[in-house]
Amino acid sequence: MLRRWDLNGVLTGEQSQQGVNELLARPLRVVHVRGLFADARAKRANVTFADGLYVALAAHLHASLLTSDGCLANAPTLGVPVLYSA
């Protein structure tokens, strides 16, 4: 999303870099997605497998899904709160 906003002039290069720096300052959590395959596949009627992995991860983390993908944000029965920003 930062890249898109930077390229579209929503953010300045400095603001985009600040966003990257803030992301780098956060703790990193590595997730092995293999355990999410079944849940991602279960969403196949509404989203791609790749997007299903994001949805499954959000569900497993009890987190909201942040996306700039309008199709994903409006997909039915995701089962997680969606934060959409165009």
* pLDDT, tens only, 26-62: 998 899 999 999 999 999 999 999 999 999 999 999 9
Question: Could you give the CA distance from residue 62 to residue 74 in angstroms, rounded to a whole number?
Answer: 19
What SS3 string covers 4-48? HHHHCCCCCHHHHHHHHHHHHHCCCCCCCHHHHHHHHHHCCCCCC
Same domain, 25 and 40: no
Return the pLDDT at 4. Answer: 84
Same domain, 39 and 75: yes
Same domain, 42 and 57: yes
Instruction: Look at the chain and count its residues.
Output: 86
Same domain, 23 and 45: no
What's the pTM value of the predicted model, to 2 decimals? 0.76
Same domain, 39 and 65: yes
**What is the extent of the structural domain holding 13?**
1-30
**Contact residues for 40 (Cβ-Cβ < 8 A; gap 6+):** 33, 49, 52, 53, 55, 56
Same domain, 40 and 17: no
Question: Could you give the CA distance from residue 71 to residue 54 in angstroms, rounded to a whole number?
Answer: 14
Same domain, 18 and 37: no
